[in-house]
Every structure is written in structure tokens, then in C-alpha cells.
Amino acid sequence: MTFIWPDYANLRKLQYPVATCVLRLLHYFKQTTARRTKTLITQFGPPNHRGTASTAKRSIRKRIMERMPSTESFGSGNFGSGNVQSFGSGNVGCGNITSILNSNVTVNEIDEDNQIKKWLSPLMPQARHKSVQSEGVAGVGGWLLEKNEFRKWSSSQGEPKRAILFCYGDPGVGKTHMKSVRKPSQTTGYC
């Protein structure tokens, strides 16, 4: 028999007929444990398996973990609904998903939350925030937080008129001026 592994690209295509898979899942869990184990062994077990169900499960788990896509690569890529058929027959596909679920590799592993975040935006404002934060000098600009406009903006509740605060200025003001004072004997500036 041939083994069709649930590799990443195929898994994504499979997400399309979710309703079908859910029905199959329900059907799957109605079966007895012994029968489920048997399905697992035929799907993922080593070829010509002769050991016990538990040794088969261990090897299955290991092999599934090796094959699982990292969540990093999730979320991008094309969604070709026309290619659903390319993953063997649809039946085998759903069988593989049920096997994954049964072997303690939960949907969590696939992590819908991360997929949603990737779907929403590739931008990482936190990274930029950290680098700006590290460049800042403690106390510099602190006056803004004491300013009337800022206080009104941040503390007003339910006042649509104070919803927006725009701070404008030329960036980097000061740097050029810093170079203007130099000790006569010295060639290096202070900025």
C-alpha cells in the first residue's frame, strides 16, 4: 500500500472541504477505539507492522511530528480550490486529518490564531517599537505627557472632539547643530 503523508501544501488544500471533514470526523469518533487504532496503523504505521498498537502509536506520533509543517510557513501561499483532487482521493485526506487529531497533535499545533494574525498583517510594529525604545534617552520628551493637549486627549472619555492628537515636527532636530561646537584641537565631533 502507498502512504500519503499530510504534508503542508496538501493540508492547506484540505482545509477547503472542512464540512466534509467534520462529518468524517464525527463518523470516525463513533467507531470503537480498536477500530480507530487500526485506521491509524494503516494510515501511518510502519509498513507491515507487527507490533502492538502502543508501539505503533509511538512511531506514528514521531513520524507525524517530523512531518508537521512549522507554523512559521503557515498563512502564505496560494489557495487553489481546484487542486483539492491532487491530494490522492478525498477520502484518504480526511482520514489523515483524523489520524493527526487522534494522536494528540491537536489543531492547536496548526494554530488558527497564528494563521489569523498572518492573514491580517505581516507588519511587526513591536519589533520597531523595541528598537525605537532602545534609542530613546530617559526623560527626553517627557514634557509632552504633562502638556495640556496630551492630558485632554488621553484622559477625556466620551468626548469625540478630543479623539485625535497630532504631533508634528521635523525629525532629528538638533543633530546637525550638535556638530557646530567643537574643541579646536579635536577632529571628531560629538554626534
Partner 1 sequence: MLTASNISSLVIDHLDEQVYDPNIAVAGLYCDYNAQEQSTTNMLGAILIQLFPGDGTREPAQQAFRRAQLGGRAAKLSDLIKILKATIALLQRVFICIDALDECPPEIRLELLESLQGIVSASPKTTRVFLTGRPHVRDEVTQYFPEAMMTLITPTPRDIELYLEMRLGRDPTPAAMDEGFRAKIMEVIPKKISPM
The site for partner 1 (CB under 8 A) is made up of: 12, 15-16, 18, 75, 79, 81, 112-113, 115-125, 128-129, 132-133, 135-145, 147, 149-150, 152-154, 157-175, 177-178, 180-181, 183, 185-186, 188, 190-191
- CB closer to partner 1, 66 vs 146: 146
Report the C-alpha gap between 4 and 39 in whole angstroms.
Answer: 14
Cβ(113)–Cβ(74) under 8 Å? no
- CB closer to partner 1, 34 vs 127: 127
- CB closer to partner 1, 52 vs 113: 113
DSSP 8-state code for residue 154: H
Taking the complex as a whole, how short is the minimal distance between the CB of residue 74 and partner 1, in angstroms? 9
Sign of CA dihedral 12, 14, 18, 22: negative
Report the C-alpha gap between 191 and 180 in whole angstroms.
Answer: 10
- CB closer to partner 1, 16 vs 63: 16
Report the C-alpha gap between 1 and 141 in whole angstroms.
Answer: 70
DSSP 8-state code for residue 147: S
Taking the complex as a whole, how short is the minimal distance between the CB of residue 156 and partner 1, in angstroms? 8
